[in-house]
Structure 1
Amino acid sequence: MGVDFSLFYASNMASNDQQPKCRRIELIEGLHGRKNTLISPVQMMNDADSTTSFTKQDRESHVVYFPGDVQTFAKEMSLHRVGKKWMNWSFEKTARKLQQRFPTSWIWVVRPHRVHEFVFSCFENFIDCNIIGSPIEFEYRNATEHLQLLLMNACKSLENIINEQSEDESNEGETCVLDGNERLANENQKHISVDPTLPVKLVGFSKGCVVLNQIVFELKQSLESTTELKDFVKRISAIYWLDGGHSGEENTWVTDRETLEVLANTGIIIHAHVTPYQVDDVARPWIAEEHREFVAVLKELKADITNKIHFEAVERSLKIHFELLGHF
């Protein structure tokens, strides 16, 4: 996210060690040779935090989330001098926040392929990036096809898992570690369906927005590709950019008009949410400039876009950057 370490160490925010229960499905394969671990929250039927009388059959879409720098599993964050200050935004707690935000969706948190120095998220399975995960250039890398296959295989694995394992409420706070490529017994006796053909909403936070940018850059080719990939793109109903930022000096937001015209013509609902942490960063003025251009061009193209600046009256800090996850 273009880390300002002075903001890390200035924070004295306390975190709650109690983490929600999630399923951690290890090394799901998308494109051949590309694997990512995915995290999905366990929804308890008497969950006090639930905002609906939700049942597992009520799922209407998939929400796929690409995290920012620092975010990882709670146990890993607790062992690092930076991560332990921000455990309220661990994978587990973020997955729970997303479930509350999208109560009738399957939630998927995509773990970056690599994390540099326990801080910098590197989505090398999706983008061409440098050692700290900043994009080098946006060329066609089959990122959208990788995501399509990744989600399809994750749905198969999760469907097997939830029909084989009871959700023991006494295990609240644990992360179940499961092999995403393992075929479980009695897979024909399914009770819950995890339908991979549901509509898809993509959410990127901070560094994770680079994956959204890559998918947008690939839209034209994806829509001219195989039937399966075209169908997947047509199922993308919304994309949420949440305070995008990285340590590079350009391409924080998509500004190429031809690319944005393709995006506008898809009818995908576009959400841009930012905070002063990124758009008021005097050391990286291009972030605000690119954000303004992204919004202005899409509005000119009559795209379905909403744009909101959060915490405008609050002093710029990394805290408000993370808190956006609970306010978009």
Structure 2
Amino acid sequence: MGSIRSIVACLSLAALARKMSAAAAAGQCVPGTSCARPAAAPGLLRLTSVPGYDQNRVNDVLLLGPTTGTQRRCDNESEKLQNGNTHVVFFPGDIQNFQQEMALQPDTAQWQSWSLERVALTLGDRFPGCHVWVIRASSMYLHKFSSYQNFVESNLFGAPEHTPDYGAILHLRALLGHSMEKAGLPNPLPPLSGTSTPATLPPGFTLTIVGFSKGCVVLNQIVYELAGARADPELRLFLDSVSDMYWLDGGHPGGSETWVTDRCALGELASSGVAVHTHVTPYEVRDPMRAWVGREHQHFIKTLEDLGACISQKLHFEDEPASIENHFRVLREF
């Protein structure tokens, strides 16, 4: 797992860290970011050490409640209107952490405009009327490299090893249910009944799943688990509530499987009826040092199209040089 290949693949991000450290030492802002400290944001609730389906799997979660207003659309790509029980779950990428913790680290301080709190507010604008849940990675090696070990087998740098039965869907369902309870939301997701009679979902419950950069490994793992999970009546009911999945400029330090290319796994995704959206930038899909990322992205798109999936795609900033700034900007532009 901690292979030389994985370490070498992380060098570009290490170089970025050196760049950020130098900028911080000089008291400069990195172009494309903001050094201003944010005002306290109303409506944000931080939940710590929320358990999933296994007491050994816990995550910190940030909740942004729905924006005010009536009948505002939650998902711009769907026909569903605000019903008071629409939810967006977001998995962030490397570097992204709570604002206070990013401010303490020279390697991340200059990127506070992409902190979990600020991205939650951005997503609140993008999905008005929804509860926005930001899932913090369970660990961050060297304060920079996110690892979603609770959702997918991963090494220190967060490079995944996908299997069909790791329990990402189980963990997501339980984590979301416990988070709703801890936040005091009415009609939280009930615990799994463990019987042949599925626990009923709350009225109108719908879910959108969004992954950015490293966070896309969780979406990939969910795809690999679909076949087994849909055979379980309770998990199938939960999965049927998922309306949309967004892959935003996916990337990780491994040498393959940045995008799902397995046709059987993609067949399960296509047949699920979930609307698939991909938004990428040249930073990930046109990097000559990681040419497989672009090839896998195209394979992902082509296979899902052939299988009749509901899929949309967009390449952002294609006429601009590849940059880490534009990589993050996709969070505002998608």
Q: Does 1:32 align with 2:35?
A: no
| Rounded Cα–Cα distance in structure 2 between residues aligned with 1:45 and 1:139 | 40
Displacement of 1:140? 1.3
Q: Could you tell me the percent identity over the aligned residues?
A: 37
- What is the CA distance between 1:159 and its match in structure 2? 2.1
Provide the residue aligned with 1:136 in structure 2: 161
Please report how far the alpha carbon of residue 197 of structure 1 lies from its aligned counterpart in structure 2 after TM superposition: 6.1
Q: 1:142, CA displacement in angstroms?
A: 1.1
**1:41 offset after TM fit, Å?**
2.0
Distance in structure 2 (CA, Å) of the matches to 1:237 and 1:68: 22
- Structure 2 contact 103–112 (Cα < 8 Å) conserved: yes
Q: Distance in 1 between matches of 2:301 and 2:322?
A: 22
Deviations along 1:102-153, one digit per CA (max 9) or x if unpaired, are: 0011100001111111001111110001111110233411110110111111
Larger displacement relative to structure 2 (291-300 or 151-160): 151-160
Mapping 1:184-195, distance limit 5 Å: 195=202
The residue aligned with 1:217 is: 224
Cα deviation code 1:154-198 (max 9, x no counterpart):
11221269xxxxxxxxxxxxxxxxxxxxxxxxxxxxxxxx95861
**How much has 1:53 moved relative to structure 2?**
11
Q: Contact between 1:155 and 1:196, CA under 8 Å: does it hold in 2?
A: no
User: Normalising by structure 1, what TM-score?
Assistant: 0.82
2:132 aligns to what? Answer: 107
Aligned to 1:281: 287
- 1:63 equivalenced with 2:88 (yes/no): yes
Q: Distance in 2 between matches of 1:114 and 1:239?
A: 24
Written as runs of structure 1 = structure 2, the 5 A alignment for 1:261-300 is: 261-300=267-306
Query: Deviation of residue 314 (structure 1)?
Result: 1.2
How far apart are the structure 1 equivalents of 2:157 and 2:15? Answer: 18
Q: Which residue does 1:150 correspond to in 2?
A: 175
Pairing 1:1-328 to 2, within 5 Å after superposition: 3-7=12-16, 9=19, 11-12=30-31, 13-19=33-39, 20-21=41-42, 22-33=44-55, 34-42=57-65, 58-159=83-184, 195=202, 198-225=205-232, 227-328=233-334
Cα distance in 2 for residues equivalent to 1:238 and 1:42? 19
- Tell me the residue number matched to 2:77: none
Equivalents in 2 of 1:147, 1:40: separation in Å? 15
Deviation at 1:297, TM superposition (A): 0.4
Distance 1:196 1:136 in 2: 36
Q: Residue 254 of structure 2 aligns to a residue in which SS?
A: coil
Distance 2:137 2:73 in 1: 33
Equivalent-residue separation in structure 2 for 1:51 and 1:37 (angstroms): 30
Partners of 1:207 and 1:244 within 8 A in 2: yes
Q: Partner residue of 1:169? A: none
Distance 1:80 1:4 in 2: 15
**Is the alpha carbon distance of 1:228 and 1:276 closer, same or farther for their aligned partners in structure 2, counting shifts above 3 Å?**
same
* TM-score (normalizing by structure 2): 0.81
The unaligned stretches of length 5 or more in structure 2 are 1-8, 21-29, 75-81, 187-200
Change in Cα spacing, 1:303 to 1:43, as seen in structure 2 (3 Å) is closer
The number of aligned residues is 290
Q: CA deviation at 1:15?
A: 2.5
Bigger mean CA offset, 79-88 vs 11-20 = 11-20
Deviations 1:31-86 (A, max 9, x none): 1221111101256759xxx99699xx853411000010000001111111221111
2:25: which partner in 1? none
d(CA) in 1 for partners of 2:83 and 2:164?
38
